[in-house]
Chains A and B, each alone.
Chain A
Amino acid sequence: NAGVTQTPKFQVLKTGQSMTLQCAQDMNHNSMYWYRQDPGMGLRLIYYSASEGTTDKGEVPNGYNVSRLNKREFSLRLESAAPSQTSVYFCASTEGGSSFYEQYFGPGTRLTVT
């Protein structure tokens, strides 16, 4: 099992450009998450998807959109990138939303916006 995979690993964008970060999991998990991590900080939740076909805002959703394409895939889109979105982005998945379940994380996408 690959677990949670993310593409790309690195990306440099100019201000105003758009891009989509891809995430896939092969554990048949119901719930998926997108986080961002700024230098020296913990992770902050951007969006989550409780189950296929649903998405909800997390702590810092502004400037982002998400799509839960199917049970395996959850993508994060930046429509018009800003320097403040320079960060490392992590995708995660769990079996469900209860605190009983542990999260599995991908390796991250390091994004720089100039």
Chain B
Amino acid sequence: DAKTTQPNSMESNEEEPVHLPCNHSTISGTDYIHWYRQLPSQGPEYVIHGLTSNVNNRMASLAIAEDRKSSTLILHRATLRDAAVYYCIQFSGTYKYIFGTGTRLKVLA
């Protein structure tokens, strides 16, 4: 079964970089790796996605391992507003996004 593995929780100091890891060893060769985050009492919010090479956008960077079995979401300077649950998503066939339990990020002032 498609499944991702993430640490349950992580902490970071404000203004410091955060590296959130994810293992997705069963990912198919053509599926994109997605990351979403969920702020308290809100719906998930798209962060970034990529296929093979590293990706950057205004929110974060995504580093994908060469064998694509793992990836790391990088928040370059964590702020208090980045405190959320971060989900790494794997696909199980078309249309089926599989959410794990995610990593709860705590940002310390």
Residues of A near any B CB (own CB < 8 A) = 4, 31, 33, 35, 40-45, 48, 50, 56, 58-59, 90, 92, 97-100, 102-108
Nearest opposing residue in chain A for B91, CB measure = A99
Chain A residues with Cβ below 8 Å from B94 are: 50, 97-98
Give Cα A4–Cα B43 distance, bound, in whole angstroms.
10
Query: A-facing mask of B35-55, CB < 8 A → 1, else 0?
Result: 010000111111001000000
Query: A-facing mask of B43-77, CB < 8 A → 1, else 0?
Result: 11110010000000000000000000000000000
Chain B residues with Cβ below 8 Å from A35 are: 99
Give Cα A41–Cα B94 distance, bound, in whole angstroms.
23
Give Cα A42–Cα B35 distance, bound, in whole angstroms.
13
Task: State whether A102 touches B43 (Cβ < 8 A).
Answer: no
Task: State whether B95 touches A97 (Cβ < 8 A).
Answer: yes
Chain A residues with Cβ below 8 Å from B101 are: 40-42
Partner of B32, one of A4, A48, A99, A107: A99
B96 located at the interface, meaning its Cβ lies under 8 Å from any Cβ of chain A in the complex: yes
Partner of A42, one of B32, B34, B42, B100: B100
User: Known: A50-B95, A97-B95, A103-B97. Contact between A42 and B87, CB under 8 A?
Assistant: yes
In the assembled complex, 24 residue pairs joining A and B whose CB atoms fall closer than 8 Å, in A order, are A31-B95, A33-B97, A40-B101, A41-B101, A42-B99, A42-B102, A48-B95, A50-B94, A50-B95, A99-B31, A99-B91, A100-B32, A102-B46, A102-B49, A103-B34, A103-B44, A104-B46, A105-B44, A105-B45, A106-B43, A107-B42, A107-B43, A108-B41, A108-B42
Question: B9 to nearest A CB, angstroms?
Answer: 12
